[in-house]
Every structure is written in C-alpha cells, then in structure tokens.
C-alpha cells in the first residue's frame, strides 16, 4: 500500500464500517474522519478506529491522499461542490452512493484535473444506521461495484481494487453507471419497495402472531431510514419504475396460475424459480 493517509467524509454506518475495515486491513495507515456528529468522532477515536476526527472537512481534506465519501447522494454532491478546491493534489477520491448516474456525472463534470475519482458502491449495509451500528455491518464476502471514469489512472483503479479486496469484499464488478443503476434498481430498490408495500398492506400489527421466517425475511429491511430511501428511490426513478413493472408482470403470471387452479403450470413455474435460485446460489460461491 503506497497510501499513508486516508480520510473518511461521513462517519455514519457505512463510514464507520469502512473505517473499521481499513483499520483492520492496513494497520499502519493514518485514518482521519470528518462528520458533523462529534459523538461519532469521539467514539471512533476512543475505539482507535480513527486517528483523528474533524468537524471541519476543510481541515481534514488537505492531509489525505485518499478520501472515501460516505454520504447520502445529495450530501455527496453538496460536499463535492463545497470542497473541490480543498483536496490535496493527486487525491484519489471514491464514494459509496447507491445511485451512480446522477452522482458520477455531476462529480465528473466538476472534477479538478489534478485529482482522480473512482466511483464505487459497496453492496453492504444494515437497516440500522449510524456509527454505533457500524460493527454489525460486515463486508466479508460481499459484492463491490465500481463504475470507473475513462480518465481514471490505471494505477488508481488497481489500487482501489486492492483496497476493496483487502477490506473483505470478495467480488468486484466494473460496469457503467447506467448498468449499475438498472441492476441495483432490481437487487436493492425494488426489494425495499416490496418490503414497504408488504408492511403497508396489513394495518394490524398483531399479524406477527402468525408470522414465520418468511415474513421476517421479507420485511427485515422495512426498518430503513425513510429519508435516505426516499432519496434513493427518486434519484433512480426511471430504472426503478421499469423494475416495478417487470415485477408486476411476473406477479400477474403466478397470480393467474393460482386463480386458474393450474396445478401443473404453477408447479413448473415454481420449479423454474427454484432452479434459477440454485443457479444464483452456485454463482455466489464462485469467487471472481
């Protein structure tokens, strides 16, 4: 590792988890963090997760060779607009936002020529937010998506991959922001829409007396941060609406089989589903 000092902007759930993973992977780097929440900074210093915390990003950024932006999409854009002049020359910047087209195009258009920005999205998280939940947000075996810019320096992209790998992520995929957003609209946002709709259609909380593992599985993520997910849904509105339409068509098919009492058709549908899920599970155990 050629980098000696990494700064983390935003020490919430993801920023905290990134800090912990970096500390664990690279014992001798200097880790800095900035956040408006002094409690999180103090706790992370006490935990020896970071070396120094800053309330003012402008004091931290000039000291960093690399910066992880661990902020909501809208705050990421605001942060970059306010602090673009402050980064040290040659800084390698990355982010963790779950929507890429809007974020990447804005940052790329405003990027200084002497810094580099490799957009990223760690596929990890928790329905519970904040630094104090960060320990429970494991990265081991998880997916990481990168949507590199044409102007990225090859050595920075290689470094980014090395760092992500050492943080515990097992599969790193490079793609375009548009492809990322279309895929994520399915694997992440549609799942959150479904969980919300499922919770919303039964007002009697006593229903959980009849709950088994499947209801728990499907609604665990309903403890989401409403502000954050409102933003993610609306930032990725078009791909998400396309994915909802796909899901509705798929739901219509199985609904018709049930309504028609089509025993063999339903069984074939469910067998196909199971086979596809098995394929996915097999692919998951292949490391890339």
Residues 93 to 152 in contact with its own copies, rule: CB under 8 A: 123-126, 142-143, 145
Residue 267 touches its own copies, criterion: CB under 8 A: yes
Residue selected from 37, 234, 239, 287 as contacting its own copies according to rule CB under 8 A: 234
DSSP symbols for the chain: ----EEEEE--SHHHHHHHHHHHHH-TTSEEEEE-S-HHHHHHHHHTTS-SEEES-HHHHGGG-SEEEE-S-HHHHHHHHHHHTTTSPTT-EEEE--S--HHHHHHHHHH--TTSEEE-EEE----SS-SGGGGGG---TT-EEEE---TT--HHHHHHHHHHHHHTT--EEEE--HHHHHHHHIIIIIIHHHHHHHHHHT---GGGGGG--HHHHHHHGGGG--HHHHHHHHHHTHHHHHHHHHHHHHHHHHHHHHHHTT-HHHHHHHHHHHHHHHHHHHHHHHS--
CB of 228 to its own copies, least distance (A): 9
Decide if residue 237 touches its own copies (CB under 8 A): yes
Number of residues binding to its own copies, judged by CB under 8 A: 89
Least distance from its own copies to the Cβ atom of residue 140, Å: 13
Contact with its own copies (CB under 8 A) among 58, 90, 151, 277: 277
Give me the least distance between CB of 60 and its own copies, in Å please: 29
Question: From the CB of 137, what's the least distance to its own copies, in Å?
Answer: 10
Site string for its own copies, 158-177 (x = CB under 8 A): -------------x-x----
- Cβ at position 213, least distance to its own copies in Å: 7
Query: How many Å is the Cα radius of gyration of the chain?
Result: 21
Contacts of 49 (CB under 8 A, 6+ apart): 16, 19, 20, 23, 31
State the pairing for strand pair 143-146/30-34. unpaired
What residues from 212 to 231 belong to the interface with its own copies (CB under 8 A)?
A: 212-215, 217-224, 226-227, 229-230
Site for its own copies in 54-83 (CB under 8 A): none
Tell me how far, at minimum, the Cβ of 286 lies from its own copies, in Å: 10
Residue 254, interface with its own copies (CB under 8 A)?
Answer: yes
In the complex with its own copies, the residue whose CB is nearer, 110 or 260, is 260
Give whichever of 1 and 251 is closer to its own copies, judged by the CB atom: 251
Contact residue for its own copies among 27, 47, 191, 287 (CB under 8 A): 191
Q: How far is the CB of 200 from its own copies (least distance, A)?
A: 5
C-beta of 39 vs 272, nearer to its own copies = 272
Asked if 272 is part of the footprint of its own copies (rule: CB under 8 A), the reply reads yes
What is the closest distance, in whole angstroms, from the C-beta atom of residue 83 to its own copies in the complex?
26
Closer of 2 and 203 to its own copies (Cβ): 203
Q: Quickly count: other Cβ atoms within 10 Å of residue 225's Cβ.
A: 16
Q: For the chain, first and last CA: distance in Å?
A: 22
């Amino acid at each position: 590792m050629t980098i000696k000092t990494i700064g983390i902007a935003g020490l919430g759930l993801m920023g905290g988890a990134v800090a912990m993973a970096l500390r664990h992977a690279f014992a001798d780097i200097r880790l800095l963090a900035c956040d408006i929440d002094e409690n999180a900074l103090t706790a992370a210093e006490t935990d020896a997760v970071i070396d120094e915390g800053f309330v003012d990003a402008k004091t931290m950024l000039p000291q960093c060779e690399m910066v992880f932006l661990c902020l909501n999409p809208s705050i990421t854009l605001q942060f970059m607009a306010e602090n673009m002049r402050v980064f040290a020359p040659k800084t390698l910047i990355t982010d963790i936002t779950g929507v890429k087209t809007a974020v990447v195009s804005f940052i790329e258009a405003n990027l200084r020529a002497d810094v580099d920005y490799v957009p990223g999205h760690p596929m990890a998280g928790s329905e519970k937010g904040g630094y104090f939940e960060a320990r429970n947000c494991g990265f081991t075996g998880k997916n990481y998506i990168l949507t590199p810019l044409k102007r990225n320096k090859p050595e920075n992209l290689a470094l980014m991959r090395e760092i992500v790998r050492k943080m515990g992520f097992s599969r790193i995929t490079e793609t375009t922001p548009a492809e990322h957003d279309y895929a994520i609209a399915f694997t992440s946002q549609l799942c959150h829409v479904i969980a919300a709709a499922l919770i919303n259609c039964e007002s009697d909380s006593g229903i959980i007396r009849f709950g088994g593992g499947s209801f728990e599985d499907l609604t665990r993520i309903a403890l989401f941060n409403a502000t954050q997910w409102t933003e993610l849904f609306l930032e990725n509105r078009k791909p998400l609406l396309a994915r909802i339409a796909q899901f509705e068509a798929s739901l219509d098919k199985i609904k018709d089989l049930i309504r028609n009492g089509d025993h063999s058709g339903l069984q074939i549908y469910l067998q196909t589903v199971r086979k596809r899920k098995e394929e996915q599970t097999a692919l998951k155990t292949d490391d890339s």
